[in-house]
Amino acid sequence: MRKVWIYDTTLRDGTQAEGISLTVPDKVKIARKLDDFGVHYIEGGWPGSNPKDKEFFALMQKAPLKHAKLAAFSSTRRKGMKAGDDPNYKELVAAQTPVVCIFGKTWDLHVIDVLKTTLDDNLEIIRDSVSFLKKKKREVVYDAEHFFDGFKHNPDYAIKTLLTAESAGADTIVLCDTNGGSLPEEIAGIISELRAFIKAPLGIHTHNDLDLAVANSLAAVEAGCVQVQGTFNGFGERCGNADLSTIIGILSSKLDIKTIPDAKLKTLKETAFFISEAANLPVADFHPFVGHSAFAHKGGVHIDAILKNQKAYEHAQPELFGNHRRYITSELAGKMPFVLKAEQMDLKIDKKSDAAKGLLKALQEKELAGYQFEGADASFELFMKKQLKKYAPFFTLEGFRVHTEKKAAGDAWAEATLHIEVKGQRQFSAADSVGPVEALDKALRNALTCFYPTLKNMHLTDYKVRVLDTKDATAAKVRVLIESQDEHDAWTTVGVHENIIEASWEALVDSIEYKLLKDLKK
């Protein structure tokens, strides 16, 4: 079986995404998770560029990775000085990683207009940089920045840069589609041409500006690349990098190419969510392999076919990737979602039973009142448990009050106070925030966390309000959807009421109770 090495750059390239800022502890946790998952290389950052990455590498020296090779990143040395005199290279060596990855100029446009030097001088910069690091006994991964654009503009010079890195001792030469503007057939064709010149192992590093980073990476692998660089969940600058969670899923399940250990593939979803949680950016519901909706079925025809043969509407078994099949409740699905959800809850309900009829009637009444469980699977499970009298609440509300205030010269703010009973104990809590829903959320968590510590591991990721009866204007009934996430999964809950605070409270309580219910199953 052919093997491809996975080079993860979430901790470096991924952090260049807008909205992501990882602390040093975050980076250490993610590195440990990736190591356990089974990637081969973990690029930790650029030690010469900022104190945070320097601290990260210092910590990693004290507790090295168990399986993956840790890589430090930098550019080729500065023009006008030797590599040994470059401050960046002193930090690169001091990081004491077994692998270093350096990027160099391949596109003559960048050499002349950006680096402001000659084409020959750039070749000497590449040669000196790689040679210096090889003398320091490092495995050198050479990233040929803007390679495909450079090849299209001046193929002879682009190849010369690769030959220079190879002759200086680079262990792997990685071809970068840095602007993300290439097409799969271009990638495959250019790499095929290169095989006549370059004998060193080739890798691929693509960006997603055309939404083709995964396709381009796969084309490169088919053309002979043995290393794939990317980030989990596709994090990265502009439109992101090649998404390793999708690439690993495809290589392993479709192309029979070995990447991570077989036993670890079932933790693919968990790893994606763990990294998403640390980065505070949710995994998209429609994300292949690991998304919440990746194996969700709504239409009655689809559900009926899946029950007869799972291959009818699924390209692979969700369990292979740590995901699970979902049957979405809606007016299109009839009674089957009740039967199937009951099976997941270790209960049996006959489609023709009084229980199924009662559930359907109750659901129809809820939908008439404005509820929509199609996008709120967590509330649907709680609804079923309550209807079947298989549910005991984790706490009881005695009452809450929300106060919102705005002064002429300042911003609006909100304060929430509540009384609840938890495990026979009466609890009072108060919290303030910029808005009433967040204040309620904080107050409720403050009261519950000492009884249920795992609530610290979840947070709200999305909050949506829809007005249902627009003719009633500000007195209209509203539907609130809240999406929540922990390090393993995401779930959605719903609340409906004329009072937006009451609707939000209902969705908020469902969110927390579902999390606690989920934790009980472990």
For the stretch 133-162, pLDDT in tens is 999 999 999 999 999 999 999 999 999 999
pLDDT at position 377: 81
pLDDT at position 482: 92
Q: Do residues 52 and 102 both lie within one domain?
A: yes
Backbone torsion region of residue 204, taken as left when φ is above 0, otherwise alpha when ψ lies between -120 and 50, otherwise beta: beta
pLDDT at position 474: 60
C-alpha Rg value of the chain to the nearest Å: 27
- CA separation for the pair 296, 120 (Å, rounded): 56
Query: Does a structural domain hold residue 422?
Result: yes
Q: Do residues 359 and 465 both lie within one domain?
A: no
Scan for tokens 């939908």, then name that residue: 367
Q: What percent of the chain stands above pLDDT 90?
A: 69
- CA separation for the pair 24, 62 (Å, rounded): 14
Scan for tokens 């402001």, then name that residue: 116
What secondary structure does DSSP assign to 285-306, as a single string? TT-TTTSTTTTEE-SHHHHHHH
Residue that is last in its domain, among 279, 309, 326: 279
Q: How many domains does the chain have?
A: 4
- CA separation for the pair 413, 399 (Å, rounded): 21
* 105 CB-near residues (< 8 Å, 6+ apart): 76, 111, 114, 115, 122, 125, 145, 146, 161
pLDDT at position 137: 97
Q: Do residues 421 and 379 both lie within one domain?
A: no
Q: Do residues 32 and 77 both lie within one domain?
A: yes
- CA separation for the pair 127, 160 (Å, rounded): 11
Query: Does a structural domain hold residue 55?
Result: yes
Residue 418 — pLDDT band, cuts 50, 70, 90? very high
Query: Does a structural domain hold residue 288?
Result: no
Q: Do residues 245 and 267 both lie within one domain?
A: yes
* Per-residue CA distances from 431 to 295, 401, 427, 437, 504 (Å): 39, 11, 14, 11, 16
Cα 469 to its chain centre, rounded Å, is 36
Query: Does a structural domain hold residue 287?
Result: no
Q: Do residues 306 and 244 both lie within one domain?
A: no
Q: Do residues 243 and 357 both lie within one domain?
A: no
Question: What residues pair up with 205 in beta bridges, in sequence order?
Answer: 176, 229
Mean per-residue pLDDT, 17-34: 93
- CA separation for the pair 70, 64 (Å, rounded): 8
Q: Tell me what the pLDDT averaged over the chain comes to.
A: 91
pLDDT at position 420: 95
Q: Do residues 249 and 389 both lie within one domain?
A: no
Mean per-residue pLDDT, 253-258: 94
What's the first-to-final CA gap in the chain, in angstroms?
36
- CA separation for the pair 421, 401 (Å, rounded): 16
Cα 91 to its chain centre, rounded Å, is 30
CATH number, domain at 59? Answer: 3.20.20.70
Residue that is last in its domain, among 279, 313, 334: 279
H or E element in which residue 122 lies: helix 119-135
Scan for tokens 């939000």, then name that residue: 504
Q: Do residues 354 and 495 both lie within one domain?
A: no
Query: Does a structural domain hold residue 495?
Result: yes
CATH number, domain at 300? Answer: 4.10.430.20
Residue that is last in its domain, among 408, 430, 451: 451
Residue 332 — pLDDT band, cuts 50, 70, 90? very low
What secondary structure does DSSP assign to 183-244, as a single string? -HHHHHHHHHHHTTT--S-EEEEEB-TTS-HHHHHHHHHHTT--EEEEBGGG--STT-B-BH
Amino acid at 52: K
Please choose, from the candidates 476, 502, 9, the residue with its C-alpha nearest in 3D space to the C-alpha of residue 237. Answer: 9
Handedness of CA 81, 85, 91, 96 (dihedral sign): positive
User: What is the reported pTM?
Assistant: 0.76
* Backbone phi, psi, residue 47, to 5°: -65, -25
31 pLDDT higher than 90: yes
pLDDT at position 329: 63
Q: Do residues 408 and 431 both lie within one domain?
A: yes
Q: Do residues 250 and 315 both lie within one domain?
A: no
Residue 365 — pLDDT band, cuts 50, 70, 90? confident
Query: Does a structural domain hold residue 95?
Result: yes
Q: For residue range 93-139, what is the model confidence (pLDDT) as tens digits?
A: 999 999 999 999 999 999 999 999 999 999 999 999 999 999 999 99
Contact between residue 262 and residue 7 where contact means Cβ atoms under 8 Å apart = no
Q: What percent of the chain stands above pLDDT 70?
A: 96
Mean per-residue pLDDT, 273-280: 87
SS3 track for 380-447: HHHHHHHHCCCCCCCCEEEEEEEEEECCCCCCCEEEEEEEEEECCEEEEEEEEECCHHHHHHHHHHHH
Token readout for 455 is 């609530």
Lowest mean pLDDT segment, chosen from 23-32, 58-67, 379-388, 444-453:
379-388
Q: For residue range 185-196, what is the model confidence (pLDDT) as tens digits?
A: 999 999 999 989
Contact between residue 324 and residue 316 where contact means Cβ atoms under 8 Å apart = no
Handedness of CA 380, 386, 390, 391 (dihedral sign): positive
Query: Does a structural domain hold residue 494?
Result: yes
CATH number, domain at 506? Answer: 3.30.160.340
Candidate ranges 222-231, 460-469, 509-518; pick with highest mean pLDDT: 222-231
Scan for tokens 């505070």, then name that residue: 280
Domain extent, residue 14, equals 5-279
Q: Do residues 69 and 28 both lie within one domain?
A: yes
Query: Does a structural domain hold residue 273?
Result: yes
pLDDT at position 249: 97
